[in-house]
């Protein structure tokens, strides 16, 4: 659900209903992840996907005992595609937060002002294009390879 530019998750208070809703959300999100990351043919908008993720995160926050290792909240991207070498990132690629309204951008700017009261801050705002994250790897100053950001594996 969307209201005033913010994503609103459907309220679920009963633990049994929460478990059932979590299972349904996980299946649905996993299906959309496969369509997006493997088939490159998403069926829903980024905003609709973000709403599903937000609802999942809210339910898992209210019921941490229901969080499972295979939950989409516990991993990044889709399943690895066979035939490719696994590469580990030394530094994790962090994701940007989504905003859907000028009000949310204003709220972000206000948080920055509160945290940096004596600094002059300038912004460049551009549309976020999902699915184009890339990590460029240089070894000894020479370009080695480019890796898609969504398929990252972290070195431990």
Active site residues: 128
Spell 88-126 as b/e; 16+ CB within 10 A means b. Answer: eeeeeeeeeeebbeeebeeeeeeeeeeeeeeeeeeeeee
State how far Cα 41 lies from the chain centre: 18
Taking Cα atoms as reference points, which of 104, 107, 109, 103 lies closest to residue 123? Answer: 109
């Amino acid at each position: 659900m969307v209201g005033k530019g913010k994503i609103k998750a459907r309220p679920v208070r009963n633990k049994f209903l929460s478990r059932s809703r979590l299972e349904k959300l996980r299946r649905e999100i996993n299906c959309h992840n496969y369509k997006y990351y493997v088939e490159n043919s998403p069926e829903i908008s980024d905003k609709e996907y973000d709403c599903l993720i937000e609802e999942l995160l809210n339910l898992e926050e209210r019921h941490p005992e229901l969080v499972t290792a295979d939950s989409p909240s516990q991993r990044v991207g889709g399943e690895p595609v066979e035939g490719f070498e696994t590469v580990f990132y030394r530094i994790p690629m962090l994701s940007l937060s989504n905003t859907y309204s000028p009000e949310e951008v204003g709220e972000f700017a206000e948080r920055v002002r509160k945290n940096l009261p004596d600094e002059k801050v300038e912004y460049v705002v551009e549309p976020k294009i999902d699915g184009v994250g890339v990590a460029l790897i240089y070894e000894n100053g020479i370009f080695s390879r480019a890796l898609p950001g969504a398929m990252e594996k972290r070195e431990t």
